[in-house]
Amino acid sequence: MSAVISKRSTEAVLISEVGPRDGLQSVAATMPTAHKRAWIDALVAAGLREIEVASFVPARLLPQMADAAEVVRHAVTHAGVCIMALVPNRHGAEAALRAGAHKLTLPVSASEAHSQANVRKTREQMVDEVRAVARLRDEIAPQVPLEVGLSTAFGCTLQGPVAEDDVIWLAEACVQAGAHEVGLSDTTGMANPAQVKRLFTRLQAAVGSHAGAAHLHNTRGLGLANCLAAYEAGVRTFDASLGGLGGCPYAPGASGNVVTEDLVFMFEAMGIDTGIDLPRLFAARQALREGLPGEPLYGMTPEAGLPKGWPSSALPFNKALA
């Protein structure tokens, strides 16, 4: 678990902004590097304390991430912010560590069908990849946490339902291979609140303090409900994307990722501290628009505005829920 999280109170939550990686690699356009830097700066100014800024994959496969090392080197100049990078393998991990990333995240599919289609490896082979990355990390930067995100944990468009026993088995295997944290991802937007609460409860029982973030999508309108269910199950770290950027390019009209602005509003209105300034978070949307002109942005809260008297108006809500 990163130091950023350990300093927060038990009632606080950590919002991990994934737009600069997950969002940008999901759209056709490529945001210029200077605009990426400006967007990250705006997110930091709003109070984000964990940001996933890049994916270290070959530029021929993902040209949107060709400047990954440069973006990481800029992002790490912000004190007190955990800068994350996605790495698919040992080679990507080495590049990310050399660039100075504070935390690595490695995607592993809970669905065998998705694993084969996505990376042409079995789930067992991906556990071996986790082990290889962990060994490399120990050699180069042992202080850097390694997080595994179990994609398709709540269902897969290729094979359909994913057995919960498979998810738990894979989570335990990843921890044994050297992962500090294992989170669950609703890659296809198929999860429901009962399922989310049940599976995160099982995850925590199986791996204890190694249980990680909830990465949930709003593809079918259940993103915030699923986040609340995860919170009630004990989850305190949530991935989200400013403006709901990216996440599900194959669901017409659906933004995919949970919208950071809406998630922050929900928690703050409940009296749960996020450490994020909502007006400044809204302002960060402008930096995003300038870097990706014409790209649709989502979010109910930015459109509706904050309630009259905010933030004091959040207090009666919190008392009513207490």
What average pLDDT is seen over the chain?
A: 91
Helices (H), 233-293: 260-269, 278-291
Instruction: Give per-residue pLDDT as tens, 170-228.
Output: 999 999 999 999 999 998 899 999 999 999 999 999 999 999 999 999 989 999 999 99
Domain coordinates in residue numbering, the chain: 3-321
Instruction: Specify the higher pLDDT residue, 159 or 129.
Output: 129
Backbone phi and psi for residue 92, each to the nearest 5 degrees, phi listed first: -65, -35
CATH of 3-321, one of 3.20.20.70, 3.30.429.10, 2.40.40.20, 3.40.50.720: 3.20.20.70
- For the cut 70, the answer to whether the pLDDT of residue 6 exceeds it is no
Task: Sort residue 100 into left (φ over 0), alpha (ψ -120 to 50) or beta.
Answer: left
User: Strand runs (DSSP E) across 95-229, as ranges?
Assistant: 103-109, 146-151, 181-185, 211-215
- Rounded Cα distance, 21 and 261, in Å: 17
- Rounded Cα distance, 139 and 115, in Å: 28
- pLDDT bucket at 314, cuts 50 / 70 / 90: low
Backbone phi and psi for residue 244, each to the nearest 5 degrees, phi listed first: 65, 25
Instruction: Give per-residue pLDDT as tens, 250-288.
Output: 444 445 899 999 999 999 999 999 999 999 999 999 999
156 belongs to the catalytic site: no
Instruction: Give per-residue pLDDT as tens, 226-257.
Output: 999 999 999 999 999 999 998 655 444 445 89
Question: For residue 127, what are its two tokens?
Answer: 């556990």
Residue 158: its pLDDT value, please? Answer: 87
Q: Cα–chain-centroid distance for residue 88?
A: 15
Backbone phi and psi for residue 107, each to the nearest 5 degrees, phi listed first: -80, 135
